[in-house]
Structure 1
Amino acid sequence: MYDAPVVLDRREGPYGEVVLRRQGDLLQIIANGCFLMDTSDGRSERLLVDAAYGALDGRPEPAVLIGGLGVGFSLAHAAANPAWGRISVVEREPAVVAWHRDGGPLSALSRAALADPRAEIVEADLVTYVNETFDTFDALCLDIDNGPGWTVTEDNGGLYTPAGLAACARVLRPGGVLAVWSAEPSAEFEGTLRNAGFRHVRTEEVPVARGVPDAVHLAVRPG
């Protein structure tokens, strides 16, 4: 038998309803009724960060931009690697940021990372951020949706189009790496990445207990 989920917090944010709930030992984030992630594993998020770092071929103190704070797995894993330089996380939901701050329900996962002087949280919409920022990074790790074909909000869909990927490339330094998490591999998205001018496009898969594997799509901005 599974424990019934218990709602810990429910807020109306700028993009709709965001819910944090507990089910047994797990914490879960739900956005507009769509399950986003929970604290059960984190293998995919760790692979997202590690694969991006590995594709940089030993570039010293690379700066990474992580799209989506979520339960904090990607941030915590990046901060655990002393080889990363600056670690910036863009999160658009004030509720999610609050759950990580000041002893919030998710702070146990991110407290050490947020105390790291390399780390910062930027409260902004990632789509807007990559179009408007003047900052640049060596790696961009996207984990804001369930994949290019399964977005949390309709507005996010533009991020995976040629124009959206051009904006992602704009914030990457020459030879920088784009890593995109997805709930399933997508050959179509690989083609979109190539058509957008990225090189060395490949997909790494993460087996799951049931169904198709999770995937991390990797691509390199030409030097």
Structure 2
Amino acid sequence: MNRPPVREDAAPVTLDRREGPYGEVALRRRGEHLEIIANGCFLMDTADGRSERLLVQAALDALAAPRPSVLIGGLGVGFSLAHAVAEPRWGRIAVAEREAAVIDWHRTGPLGAFSAGALDDPRVSVLHTDLVAHLAGGGEAYDALCLDIDNGPDWTVDETNDGLYGPAGLAAAHRRLNPGGVLAVWSARPSAAFEQALRRAGFAEVHTLEVAVARGVPDAVHLARRA
């Protein structure tokens, strides 16, 4: 989620910085909010989690099963996972996060305040893995995939994430959904081209929900169903 921070009055303070297999990742505090920075690029912050919560809620609202399973990718600042755990209707909840530092910041660091202990919920399993590789590798299916990777389909900072939104990535997501399952994809802006890509990949009931932001184009949640 690479939406530049709105606040410009407070200088950021770096709380932790680590090198990993995908480059440098840092946790910063700017005023009252926390930011995750990947390879020098602003990735996400704790200022506004409405669209991240909508990502999970819209998927749940579209499902009729009493205890549906969900895979959330990735963990980020924890808004999506915390919202899923707060909803007793969800059954099995998996969250895929490729950055060990991000997982640590939730388990023992300041991001734990935003995930609100969700990692300790007995329904939750944390998968330390790259989401693109995890989906392509096959395995168990889910009733919902709630994907919040990079900036969404039209604007990725890390080119390794591009494949998630192309034909191969969408085919992998389709295979990992149970029949009737729902795919929800966060995006930094609505994308008519991505809607068409979802339809070409065999998804049905494709539509987009928008969340207005303080400046610029709205955030978007793209929704589709495996028929």
Q: Verify the 8 A CA contact 1:99 1:106 in the aligned structure 2.
A: yes
Match of 1:215 among 181, 206, 220: 220
Alignment of 1:81 onto 2:87: yes
Aligned-residue offset at 1:120:
1.4
Which secondary structure state, in structure 2, belongs to the residue aligned with residue 152 of structure 1? coil
The CA deviation string for residues 21-75 of structure 1, in whole angstroms up to 9 with x for no partner, is 000000000111221111111001110001111111x211000000100000000
Match of 2:16 among 3, 9, 21: 9
Partner residue in 1 for 2:34 = 27
Aligned-residue offset at 1:133:
3.5
Q: Verify the 8 A CA contact 1:44 1:215 in the aligned structure 2.
A: yes
How far apart, in 2, do the equivalents of 1:127 and 1:147 lie?
A: 13
How far apart, in 2, do the equivalents of 1:19 and 1:152 lie?
A: 16
Aligned-residue offset at 1:92:
0.3
Q: TM-score, normalised by structure 1?
A: 0.96
Match of 1:100 among 91, 102, 106: 106
Partner residue in 1 for 2:201 = 196
Equivalenced residue count is 220
- % of aligned pairs identical? 69
Q: What is the 5 A alignment of 1:45-84?
A: 45-56=52-63, 58-84=64-90
How far apart, in 2, do the equivalents of 1:147 and 1:187 lie?
A: 13
The CA deviation string for residues 57-106 of structure 1, in whole angstroms up to 9 with x for no partner, is x211000000100000000000000000011000000110110113x111
How far apart, in 1, do the equivalents of 2:88 and 2:15 lie?
A: 34
Alignment of 1:143 onto 2:148: yes
How far apart, in 1, do the equivalents of 2:26 and 2:113 lie?
A: 18
Aligned-residue offset at 1:155:
1.2
Structure 1 gap segments, 5+ residues each: none
Q: TM-score, normalised by structure 2?
A: 0.94
